[in-house]
Structure 1
């Protein structure tokens, strides 16, 4: 078997390799970093379909074609060195620079839902900021992550002759990840995914950038363009079988337009359930005895879920919508599968109250479909989420629309929001005193 670059057997070997590489990498200029990122983008673009297929086959979640879209987005739209904008202020007393410098060795923990795109996204950002990177993939995505690490290392070595700026372990068990996080030579922890990793990272007492649980909730009021709202919601919630953390999970809709919304959803290949018997069939399948999500079905497609629930259909569907009450686990739990809950309310004021309750103060993702500017702005102020979408798809919140760059680490726990290179760097203030003003 071919030996993979940047893959090590022990925690100490991994950390020391990243630390040694950082010493050399820190001597490179910004132009060198730009060359590395440009070459990474070019080479990784050749492997998009391969990485998408490997990722789907190993994790058994999502859709190959949608994973390819996310991987391409990470490669092409992740902000690089240009994100590190230096600011200068001058006056009679001198000149002050505000600029960015690397933290050092970074530990980046990745989820099984978006393994390749998150690794690419974080690696480009961390390298742009001048850090070396220890990637800690989810155990369900180890092989594709090691393969991706090998590609990244070959590109970097070919550009600048440095090995092991980006490394990973041969096996990423939880105990190894905790050992890396607490290692004295690790300076920064970037945690993408579940709350358990977030709590463990914060307990280390180091600089932490952390995402956590999400329950993306979207309001549809009576003034919304219902046809567009249904299209956007079905597009976002069905994408990659709704395992992307920003994907629509709950729809809070004003009763007056709910039936029209139902008909528009059906036009977008959505199987709509109001029947109590069918809802119970799905609940029995998708929830455990403790009313928690059945993780064995995470990321599976809608047709398979309907079949396993014993619900007979005469065609294929990409998404399931279940009309239910606000306290149902389909509403309160993040299922990570192609299902959205639909909760009826009497008016916008109730919709906002219910949405705030359902989002559970996770401050991750929310949105609204409305033609009233005052409601768009009020919902944004009340739902203080890291990502907020007005009259669009959840995918627009991570840059599918082509504006604002992309991020696959949404730091709702530590508050940075959608992460880019500047968040992976320490901010410095440098003063140059006396007679440097040119005004």
Structure 2
């Protein structure tokens, strides 16, 4: 059997990485990880967060000093292959453990992050050459990143963050949501095996087997972790921002949709049905409420029903409010037991039978209705009638609540599209399409599971998890003119 040169290089790198992490290599062209013997875990899963941090720190040193950008590219391509091959397995595991969403939609999400999460290709170098010398600016790693992930898109976020963060030259310690710890551990172990089998260092990504808030506190206080990344609710993001550690925060959203009097209501109905029902509306950027001008309202509702949506009566709407929302101190919050559940289960629970395969519930409600103002993460889409376009904008801004996350509009009026975009200020703004398209699912652009609206990075990629560094060669160096 012939062994190609690249195979020999991969084997040598794998052996060298293992030796350095065990502290058996000293000296050489690059510094080893000094003063530490990397703890041994279960393919990246550790019982203590301290060991997970130490192992990721040791692996990160190896990754940064002994691997080239082309090595990162090769490992990431192997991760993409692994993620595609295991998309259905992971989707089923997530559904089984969390009890949320739809398997077929979760498969599509896993394929999206595998195929459309950018790797090293977005780490471009800028150069300026002049009489004063040569200047280059490049994207360098932070080091170890602490990443908090949600239960709504657990393994999808782990895969996306892994690709983006190791492409930037970093290692990662995850603290996953406790409600998805088993599927995340399985996914992380698959990723680690893939990295090692393709010549990368062991423990480049790690996690504590049983995630806790104490582990998060230890991550934020550890000097080995240089950057925190939080994907989930605003409470978690704000806590990380207060930690004193540099933070990239991807918080909550309550995305409004406007359908004006110039809209193609059949298109709007088709796209809204797809987007709002996708994975039972678990995406934070999915359509959560619609503000429609009176001239288009009846046509939109009729079109949604034709697509397969179930129009709730006022009595049924209020029955589901009592089921899915909890009133506390005069305010409503989500009943977590119903997050991401099938629409048919809602109907069954309020005594409506024969609609087990229904994907989306719609209701005609006033603008002050709790469904409008609460980010519910359920396949229930409230529709609010408005007299004017300006009223649609005002209601949308109030419902979005300053999250600056996602919004969309269905219109053929360029002025209306422009005005709403300026007023709403969201990170993602989609025109005449489901908000899924704004994330590259059925649309252009890359996919991410970490949409950093609160801290301004936007749709994150490898570049988001790097430091901008400048290198200057003075005295006209390297110029030939």
TM over 0.5: yes
Picking from 363, 366, 373, the partner of 1:332 is 373
Picking from 183, 188, 210, the partner of 1:149 is 188
**1:389 match:** 430
Q: What pairs up with 1:268-307 in 2 under 5 angstroms?
A: 268-273=307-312, 275-290=313-328, 291-307=332-348
Contact 2:438–2:444, Cα closer than 8 Å, also in 1: no
RMSD: 1.3
Unaligned runs of 5+ in 1: none
Contact 1:303–1:318, Cα closer than 8 Å, also in 2: yes
For the structure 1 residues 316 and 145, does the alpha-carbon distance in structure 2 shift closer, same or farther, using more than 3 Å as the test? closer
Structure 2: distance between partners of 1:178 and 1:199 = 13
SS at match of 1:191: strand
Deviations 1:230-271 (A, max 9, x none): 111110000000011111001010011100111100011111
Aligned length: 436
**2:358 match:** 317
SS at match of 1:318: coil
Structure 1: distance between partners of 2:388 and 2:354 = 33
Unaligned runs of 5+ in 2: 1-40
Picking from 439, 453, 458, the partner of 1:412 is 453
Residue 289 of structure 1 and its aligned partner are, at CA, apart by: 2.9
For the structure 1 residues 161 and 79, does the alpha-carbon distance in structure 2 shift closer, same or farther, using more than 3 Å as the test? closer
Matched, 1:63 2:133: no
Matched, 1:375 2:375: no
Deviations 1:262-282 (A, max 9, x none): 110001111123x32222111
**1:4 match:** 42
Picking from 3, 8, 22, the partner of 2:60 is 22
**2:390 match:** 349
TM-score normalised by L of structure 2: 0.89
Picking from 412, 419, 439, the partner of 1:398 is 439
SS at match of 2:429: strand
Structure 2: distance between partners of 1:144 and 1:252 = 38
Picking from 224, 238, 255, the partner of 2:294 is 255
Which is worse superposed, 27-36 or 154-163? 154-163
Greater relative contact order structure (CA < 8 Å, 6+ sep): 1
Residue 152 of structure 1 and its aligned partner are, at CA, apart by: 0.8
Picking from 229, 249, 259, the partner of 1:190 is 229
For the structure 1 residues 315 and 164, does the alpha-carbon distance in structure 2 shift closer, same or farther, using more than 3 Å as the test? closer
Structure 2: distance between partners of 1:315 and 1:202 = 43
Contact 1:4–1:146, Cα closer than 8 Å, also in 2: no
Structure 2: distance between partners of 1:403 and 1:239 = 18
Residue 90 of structure 1 and its aligned partner are, at CA, apart by: 2.0
Structure 2: distance between partners of 1:280 and 1:112 = 28
SS at match of 1:289: strand
Structure 1 or 2, whichever has the larger Rg, is: 2
SS at match of 1:187: strand
Structure 2: distance between partners of 1:194 and 1:292 = 13
Structure 2: distance between partners of 1:438 and 1:346 = 68
SS at match of 2:100: coil
For the structure 1 residues 315 and 241, does the alpha-carbon distance in structure 2 shift closer, same or farther, using more than 3 Å as the test? closer
Picking from 209, 225, 237, the partner of 2:248 is 209
Contact 1:194–1:212, Cα closer than 8 Å, also in 2: yes
Structure 1: distance between partners of 2:59 and 2:444 = 34
SS at match of 2:333: coil
**1:166 match:** 205
Structure 2: distance between partners of 1:334 and 1:162 = 41
Contact 1:281–1:310, Cα closer than 8 Å, also in 2: no
Residue 438 of structure 1 and its aligned partner are, at CA, apart by: 4.9
Deviations 1:280-339 (A, max 9, x none): 111111111322111101100001001112334567421011111111110000111101
Contact 2:137–2:468, Cα closer than 8 Å, also in 1: yes
Contact 1:112–1:140, Cα closer than 8 Å, also in 2: yes
